[in-house]
Amino acid sequence: MDSNTWGKIFRLTTFGESHGKAIGGILDGCPAGLEFDEAFVQKEMNRRRPGQSDITTTRNESDEVEFLSGLFEGKTLGTPLGFIIRNDDQRSGDYENLKHVYRPGHADAVWDRKFGFRDHRGGGRSSARETASRVVGGAIAKMLLKTYGIRIHAYVSKVKHVELKTPYQDIDFSLTEKSIVRCPDEAISDKMIAVIESARNSGDSVGGTIDCVISGVEAGLGDPVFDKLDAVLAHAMLSINATRGFEMFRGFESTGLMGSENNTITTGIAGGISDGHAIVFRTAFKPVSTIAQPQQAMTNSGEEITLEAKGRHDPCVLPRAVPIVEAMAALVMADMVLRMRSDRI
């Protein structure tokens, strides 16, 4: 129940299966009078789009967003923005042989257990295709945040064991989009690409981490006790497909420090509320579940089979996940800036 809506004031509700007619959503609660930049939305979509580079899936979808409401004379009306993205490159036939198969690492089995049946084509609703709608919502959120001076920059910080160790303060975020792996360091980026290509060549896949830096944030955002800003960011990040962990700055490392050391470090959030510094967090992505190697799998009748995946898949989701991390972060922050309007008399 009630699982396809994000946010309390600035609210995104999404719909759509991977191989249905369309995916899309409704963005409700966006204040009226926001200058709307439709080209920017499409630009964000293109960052998430399949087929954008040599290390992503060759599935080719134009992912054109059509806005149906909520806009007038170039500005938001204060009414809900409905939008759709047609699924134009559906090779449903690729999946016919998967109708009764539960792919390892995928949600196929649990969807059957939960709902009694499922749309098996491309993972149906469990497909990461759904995140395209989030990128649309996130792009609108970014437009709102821009009026507050808030900027969001995510980048791939680790692929398998290749890690970018530069402190975030020293990173030139303008380099991120110049790298097809979306790592803002050319040398590290090349190593990451090599790891991804090697995985693909062996019919396998790799994971990694994405760091995200939110800057320009005034103090006071976030709503304790349950909606602490970091808690809501964690919720947002873990709601993205294939994520497995979240930490504020170097949260797991900080467990090894003494209090006297750690007290001098800020994550941008104190007690669940932004403190005026940049907010920095990291999200862990597991290796993609779909691999080209033969794997043992189960069918829905309990039979063991050997599965050889067809379809066209990413050997590493991280490059395309960068705009999704940013989109979810933007949705969180947009909601919070509006919620903050009721903090004081």
Question: What x/- string results for residues 172 through 201 when contact with its own copies is judged by CB under 8 A?
Answer: ---------------------------x--
Give the C-alpha separation, 142 to 261, whole Å: 35
Which of these segments, 41-49, 169-177, 186-194, 255-263, binds its own copies (CB under 8 A)? 255-263
Q: Evaluate whether 17 touches 127 at the Cβ level (below 8 Å).
A: yes
Residue 311 near its own copies by CB under 8 A = no
Least distance CB 174 / its own copies (angstroms): 26
Residue 295 near its own copies by CB under 8 A = yes
- Which of residues 64, 252, 303, 308 is near its own copies by CB under 8 A? 252
- Which of residues 1, 39, 93, 187 is near its own copies by CB under 8 A? 1
Q: Which is nearer to its own copies, 51 or 203 (CB)?
A: 203
Which of these segments, 41-49, 55-63, 79-87, 169-177, binds its own copies (CB under 8 A)? 79-87
Residues 259-288 that bind its own copies (CB under 8 A): 259-264, 267, 270-276, 284-288
Q: Evaluate whether 207 touches 316 at the Cβ level (below 8 Å).
A: yes
Least distance CB 49 / its own copies (angstroms): 19
Q: Evaluate whether 155 touches 171 at the Cβ level (below 8 Å).
A: yes
Write out the H or E segment, with its range, that includes residue 65.
strand 65-67
Residue 298 near its own copies by CB under 8 A = no
Least distance CB 233 / its own copies (angstroms): 8
Give the C-alpha separation, 304 to 301, whole Å: 9
Instruction: Give how many residues touch its own copies by CB under 8 A.
Output: 140
The answer for 149, left when phi > 0, alpha when psi is -120 to 50, beta otherwise, is left
- Which of residues 58, 60, 68, 166 is near its own copies by CB under 8 A? 68
Residue 230 near its own copies by CB under 8 A = yes
Residue 208 near its own copies by CB under 8 A = yes
Residues 81-110 that bind its own copies (CB under 8 A): 81-82, 84, 104-107, 109-110
Residue 165 near its own copies by CB under 8 A = no
Give the C-alpha separation, 292 to 200, whole Å: 8
Q: Which is nearer to its own copies, 189 or 289 (CB)?
A: 289
From edge to edge, which strands make up the β-sheet containing 65-67? 5-6, 11-15, 22-28, 81-86, 65-67
Residues 323-342 that bind its own copies (CB under 8 A): 338-342
Least distance CB 126 / its own copies (angstroms): 5
Q: Which is nearer to its own copies, 169 or 342 (CB)?
A: 342
Placement of tokens 């809900």 in the chain: 80
Least distance CB 327 / its own copies (angstroms): 13
- Which of residues 44, 63, 247, 326 is near its own copies by CB under 8 A? 247
Residue 170 per-residue DSSP state: G
Least distance CB 59 / its own copies (angstroms): 18
The answer for 160, left when phi > 0, alpha when psi is -120 to 50, beta otherwise, is left
Contacts of 226 (CB under 8 A, 6+ apart): none
SS3 222: coil
Residue 29's Cβ-count burial label (10 Å; 0-12, 13-18, 19+) is middle
Give the C-alpha separation, 62 to 58, whole Å: 12
Work out the angle at residue 236's Cα, subtended by the Cα atoms of residues 208 and 196, and round it to the nearest 5 degrees: 20
Tokens encoding 48: 């998430």
